[in-house]
Amino acid sequence: MIQIKNLEKSFGSLKVLRGIDFQASDGEIIVILGPSGMGKSTFLKCINYLERPDKGCITIDGIEVHAECCTEKQICALRSKTSMVFQNYNLFKNKTVLENVLLPMTVVQKLTREEAKQKAFKYLKQVGLMDKVEEYPSRLSGGQQQRVGIARAMAVNPKIMLLDEPTSSLDPELVLGILDLLKQLANEHQRSMIIVTHELNFAKEIADRIVFMDEGRILEEGTAKEIFENPKHLRTKKFLDNLKV
């Protein structure tokens, strides 16, 4: 269970998040849609304190963190409940595929190398990369690199996975493979996911709920059917119409 109350974040005088209230239940898959520059990435990053919010309270699985008064220990506890898949993969280029997946488990979770290896192999197998474990990221395709990013994010067994446009850096022919993998993972593992994407068909298929973000706020939310067939706000409708052409 994740609950977010009145989250606010500014960069200097630019107000990016203007009071976001949000919640997700265990296993729920939420897709965030919205125009560029409206705070979607900032919102995901604030959830695990990659960016520090100015105001608001985040609770994940009983760990409650108030932006105005929180300790490093609380932030670490919150982070341990989450993992992130980035648009540009964010792999360590000087480390092998296996080391990339092991690192958060050995360094952050303090698992032994053997325990971590077992989990790493489990997820590398699931994403179809067992033949690449000793390879370096530069020798992989974008799709393969993103599979490493997904295996790394799954392996830490997060309460919630945050995915920021996981296919937007990929060549078009690689997009469907990654979207299929994400659908399969969402079905198999009862794990909450918050996914920012512009892939509308994927959103329709995977989302339990769709959230439309605009100007640092959640403008509306609902099932795929509600949002796509009957958006309440003109801005949502315009955004969707533009993506369809």
Sign of CA dihedral 70, 67, 166, 140: negative
Asked whether position 167 contacts Mg ion by CB under 5 A, the answer is: no
| Shortest distance (Å) from residue 37 CB to Mg ion | 8
Residue 195 φ/ψ, nearest 5 degrees? -120, 120
Q: Which is nearer to Mg ion, 13 or 36 (CB)?
A: 36
Asked whether position 16 contacts ligand ADP by CB under 6 A, the answer is: yes
| Shortest distance (Å) from residue 121 CB to ligand ADP | 33
CB neighbours (10 Å) of residue 245?
Answer: 4
Q: Which is nearer to ligand ADP, 87 or 106 (CB)?
A: 87
* Phi-psi map region of 88: left, alpha, beta (phi>0 left; psi -120 to 50 alpha): alpha
Residue with tokens 């092998």: 96
- CA 178 to CA 234: how far, in whole Å? 31
Q: What are 109-115's contacts with CB under 8 Å, separation 24+?
A: 109/80, 109/156
How does 148-180 read in b/e, with b if 16+ C-beta sit within 10 Å?
Answer: bbbbbbbbbebbbbbbbbbbebbeeebbebbbe
The residues in 31-70 that bind ligand ADP, with binding defined as CB under 6 A, are 34, 36-42
| Shortest distance (Å) from residue 118 CB to ligand ADP | 35
Choose from ligand ADP, Mg ion, none: what does 38 bind? Cβ within 5-8 Å by kind.
ligand ADP
Choose from Mg ion, ligand ADP, none: what does 37 bind? Cβ within 5-8 Å by kind.
ligand ADP
Residue with tokens 């994400």: 182
| Shortest distance (Å) from residue 124 CB to Mg ion | 27
Q: Which is nearer to ligand ADP, 17 or 153 (CB)?
A: 17
Asked whether position 219 contacts ligand ADP by CB under 6 A, the answer is: no
CB neighbours (10 Å) of residue 61?
Answer: 16
Q: What would the two tokens of residue 141 be?
A: 């395709």
Asked whether position 129 contacts ligand ADP by CB under 6 A, the answer is: no
Asked whether position 144 contacts Mg ion by CB under 5 A, the answer is: no
| Shortest distance (Å) from residue 102 CB to Mg ion | 28
Asked whether position 11 contacts ligand ADP by CB under 6 A, the answer is: yes
Asked whether position 80 contacts Mg ion by CB under 5 A, the answer is: no
Binding site for ligand ADP (CB under 6 A): 11, 14, 16, 34, 36-42
Binding site for Mg ion (CB under 5 A): 40-41
